[in-house]
Amino acid sequence: MKKRVNAWLAGIAVLTCAATAGAAAKGAPKLRIGILIAQSGPSETQTIRGLRDGLKELRYKERDNIVIEVKDLKGERGALQPAAAELVNKKVDLIFTIGTRATQAAMAATREIPIVFRHSADPIAIGLVKNLKQPGGNVTGVAAFSPEMTGKRLETLKEIVPNLKRVHILYDSNNPFSKTSFAAAKKEATRLRLDVVEHTVKTVDELKSALGALQKMDGDAIFQVSDDLVESQADTIFEAARQQSLPTMFDGADWAPKGSMASYGANYYRMGVQAAAMIHKILRGASPKNLPVERAEKYDLLINLRMANAIGHTIPPAALKKADKVVR
């Protein structure tokens, strides 16, 4: 009898401990991540999807043990700084940023809250970190180092458009990263004996005017360098390219399904998954200053055969075989 009573009491104790632990878990504060982006486009959407999937794989569940708040400024650049300050005031545990301006806004808002970025460029060149292996401060992230891939993208464009002679490049002259990217493109174009037509713009209206004034010649194409303003008007560029029968090459694998004839660059979904792993380390106590900046793990070539047909361009079979994905 005594043994049965002791067993019964032990069972009650176990159930009590389990109930207490469950209550504690339910009452535990949720981790809060703020996401700051200037404007949501295909690359941002894919990055955030990868981030969410990556966090889910690491056993973070939204509205259970983590809260994710997305601040999409929809192109209103002047709202970036107030939005960053709002995330700081809400005492988020970490800020995830996409792009130069969003990262700079977050850096201006806090030196305490960890910041993890997803960026297309070399983060040292644009002043986000001091060292790739030991970033220092409260900032680290995943970078695609797009300017380094510019030569490869131009070479790929020449394979897709064998008679390529000249490329039109539109970029925001107020964006220091875009200036760096253009300089890299011009250098590589010279190496490949391609002429470059520079179109500097500062507003959406200026970009539309530049497209309207564009004078097409045989062997022309539009070559995009990473730029928030240009990417926000990608649909406008694709339509202009369709009307003028111009091939287009965009940076980042997600642009071909959206309308570019070709795109080559980092797989932004995978970069989001990489960022999730970094965020996990930071939330478990690692310091951003000691977490090396990671390079994008995967680069993809996508060809939009529908757009090629629409502008009357035939993709050489050899180039088509190299594509990781063909949009038909």
Average pLDDT over residues 262-272: 94
Q: 146-265+300-327: same fold as 30-144+267-299?
A: yes
Confidence (pLDDT) at 181: 87
Query: Residue 179: helix, strand or coil by DSSP?
Result: helix
How far apart, in whole angstroms, are the C-alpha atoms of residue 306 and residue 309? Answer: 5
Confidence (pLDDT) at 28: 58
pLDDT tens digits along 141-198? 999 988 888 999 999 999 999 999 999 999 999 988 788 889 999 999 999 999 999 9
Of 211, 210, 219, the residue nearest 241 (C-alpha): 211
Report the side by side order of strands in the sheet with 31-37: 66-72, 31-37, 94-98, 115-119, 139-143, 294-295
The vertex-294 CA angle with 40 and 122, nearest 5°, equals: 70
CB of 124 closer than 8 Å to CB of 116: no
> Domains of the chain: which residue ranges?
30-144+267-299, 146-265+300-327
Confidence (pLDDT) at 18: 41
Of 281, 235, 225, the residue nearest 260 (C-alpha): 235
How far apart, in whole angstroms, are the C-alpha atoms of residue 98 and residue 84? Answer: 13
Confidence (pLDDT) at 39: 85
- Predicted model pTM: 0.77
Query: Residue 315: helix, strand or coil by DSSP?
Result: coil
Confidence (pLDDT) at 147: 80
Task: Name every residue whose Cβ is closer than 8 Å to that of residue 303 and which is 6 or more positions away in sequence.
Answer: 160, 256, 261, 262, 315, 319, 320, 323, 325, 326, 327
What is the rounded radius of gyration, in angstroms, for the C-alpha atoms of the chain? Answer: 24
In this structure, CATH architecture of domain 30-144+267-299: 3-Layer(aba) Sandwich (3.40)
How far apart, in whole angstroms, are the C-alpha atoms of residue 318 and residue 321? Answer: 5
Q: Which CATH superfamily is domain 146-265+300-327 in?
A: Response regulator (3.40.50.2300)
> pLDDT category, 7, cuts 50, 70, 90?
very low
